[in-house]
């Protein structure tokens, strides 16, 4: 067993939290009490796909239908003979795959590495990991949530609690709790649907999820599965907040000059927006938009081709506003270049 920590604040350009650190424990023995008492439950797992080559659209292998453990080697079984979720009553091989060191020495001597398609023996002492992330003084919303993963989720179980500016904590397991996951969220064999349950308070709204699929939405989902309601009294007194475009300028040419000496002829424009509640005072604000089809590099191998961002103290009546917009674009990209340690090479 070994442990380590990660300081996530080191990767941030601006310190928004007093502490943002991850804690991890690897090599923890898995309990799997039922499997240790009664043995594993061999079950056929795999997938059926509509994509790829015909011979690759189906695959089958064996897992324990109780704890999710896989034999070593995992092996493959014939999809024509075995259905997903079926109890596996076929043969196992007693041989284990050679270690990487042995495989390398065999290859150096020109000897073939033993291969088998049959599932191997069950690992005797399976281990897994748990992790946590603790944040003090950064989160800006309040929420509590638990996740029950799918059969292929990297995190079998996960939970988080966020207390706004006080901070947040996230915890997860990798293979620990696989029995609970199989019991609560069996789904289809090799299901990709993790399930989430939780509530959050965000920008005057109460949002909830009750055993909702994490990655997909469907019109057949029941109404109670997910939703939100406004809890800000101003919503009922003055109406909801709306943001509508009032006007926009024509596209104008401008030049973005970067500190590294490179420059780009872009097209820029301003948009005027009005934000406020349906009844009451509204506030105007301006956004800057730009476009450059060849792209402005900000990270080695990556470029921005367009963008938009709020711009202050600049309107359509401001003299030489295209130049001011170009300067704001240069400022934004300069910050990203510094973040990604971009090194400009002269053409």
Structure pTM? 0.70
Specify whether 75 is located in the same domain as 217: no
Give the mean model confidence (pLDDT) for residues 225-250.
94
What does the pLDDT look like over 142-198, one tens digit per residue?
Answer: 999 999 998 778 899 999 999 988 999 999 999 999 889 988 987 665 556 899 999
Q: Got the DSSP string for 295-308?
A: EEEEETTEEEEEEE
Closest CA to 18 of 212, 168, 160, 120: 168
- Per the domain annotation, does 196 fall within a domain? yes
Distance (Å, whole) CA 296 – CA 276: 35
Distance (Å, whole) CA 162 – CA 173: 19
The answer to whether 84 touches 60, Cβ cutoff 8 Å, is: yes
Specify whether 97 is located in the same domain as 134: no
Give the mean model confidence (pLDDT) for residues 113-142.
87
* Domain boundary, last residue among 77, 108, 139: 108
Specify whether 334 is located in the same domain as 251: yes
Specify whether 23 is located in the same domain as 54: no
Q: What is the pLDDT of residue 115?
A: 65
Decide if pLDDT at 55 tops 90: no
Decide if pLDDT at 298 tops 80: yes
Specify whether 102 is located in the same domain as 171: no
Closest CA to 173 of 199, 211, 147: 147
Confidence class for position 100, pLDDT limits 50, 70, 90: confident
For the chain, report the end-to-end CA distance as a whole number of angstroms: 52
- Long-range contacts, stretch 104-112, CB < 8 angstroms, 24+ apart: none
Specify whether 253 is located in the same domain as 196: no
Specify whether 23 is located in the same domain as 166: yes
| Overall number of domains in the chain | 3
- Give the bridge partners for 195, in sequence order: 148, 213
The answer to whether 172 touches 160, Cβ cutoff 8 Å, is: no
Identify the residue whose tokens are 């948009």. 271
The answer to whether 311 touches 332, Cβ cutoff 8 Å, is: no
Specify whether 24 is located in the same domain as 78: no
The encoded tokens of residue 217 equal: 């939405």
Other C-beta atoms within 10 Å of 215: how many? 9
CA distance to 161, 204, 210, 214, per residue, from 207 (Å): 15, 10, 10, 14
Mean pLDDT of the chain: 90
Specify whether 274 is located in the same domain as 327: yes
Domain that holds residue 46: 38-108
- Per the domain annotation, does 347 fall within a domain? no
Specify whether 24 is located in the same domain as 133: yes
DSSP structural state of residue 105: H
Q: What is the pLDDT of residue 11?
A: 72
What does the pLDDT look like over 35-46, one tens digit per residue?
Answer: 999 999 999 988
- Give the bridge partners for 64, in sequence order: 42
Specify whether 213 is located in the same domain as 329: no
Ramachandran angles phi, psi of 129, nearest 5° = -140, 155
CA distance to 99, 237, 247, 273, per residue, from 96 (Å): 9, 70, 70, 66
Specify whether 23 is located in the same domain as 134: yes
What does the pLDDT look like over 270-279, one tens digit per residue?
Answer: 999 999 999 9
- Give the bridge partners for 248, in sequence order: 271
């Amino acid at each position: 067993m070994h442990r380590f920590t990660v300081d996530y604040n080191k990767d941030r350009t601006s310190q928004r939290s007093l502490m943002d650190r991850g804690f991890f424990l690897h090599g923890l023995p898995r309990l799997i009490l039922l499997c240790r008492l009664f043995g594993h439950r061999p079950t056929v797992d795999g997938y059926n796909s509509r994509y790829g080559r015909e011979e690759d659209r189906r695959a089958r292998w064996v897992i324990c239908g109780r704890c999710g453990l896989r034999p070593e080697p995992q092996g493959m079984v014939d999809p024509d003979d075995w259905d997903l979720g079926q109890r596996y009553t076929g043969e196992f091989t007693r041989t284990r795959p050679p270690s990487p060191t042995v495989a390398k020495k065999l290859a150096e001597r020109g000897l073939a590495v033993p291969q088998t398609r049959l599932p191997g023996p069950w690992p005797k002492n399976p281990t897994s990991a748990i992790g946590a992330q603790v944040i003090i003084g950064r989160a800006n919303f309040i929420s509590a949530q638990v996740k029950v993963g799918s059969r292929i989720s990297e995190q079998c179980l996960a939970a988080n609690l966020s207390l706004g500016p006080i901070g947040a904590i996230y915890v997860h397991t990798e293979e620990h709790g696989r029995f609970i996951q199989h019991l609560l969220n069996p789904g289809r064999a090799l299901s990709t649907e993790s399930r989430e349950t939780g509530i959050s308070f965000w920008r005057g709204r109460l949002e909830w999820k009750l055993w909702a699929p994490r990655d997909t939405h469907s019109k057949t989902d029941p109404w109670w599965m997910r939703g939100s309601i406004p809890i800000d009294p101003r919503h009922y007194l003055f109406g909801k907040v709306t943001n509508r475009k009032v006007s926009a300028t024509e596209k104008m040419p401008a030049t973005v000059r970067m500190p590294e000496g490179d420059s780009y002829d872009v097209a820029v424009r301003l948009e005027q927006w009005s934000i406020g509640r349906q009844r009451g005072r509204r506030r105007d604000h301006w956004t800057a938009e730009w476009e450059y089809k060849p792209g402005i590099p900000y990270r080695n191998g990556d470029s921005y081709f367009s963008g938009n961002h709020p711009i202050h103290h600049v309107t359509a009546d401001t003299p030489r506003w295209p130049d001011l917009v170009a300067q704001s674009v240069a400022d934004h990209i300069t910050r990203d270049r510094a973040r990604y340690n971009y090194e400009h090479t002269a053409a």
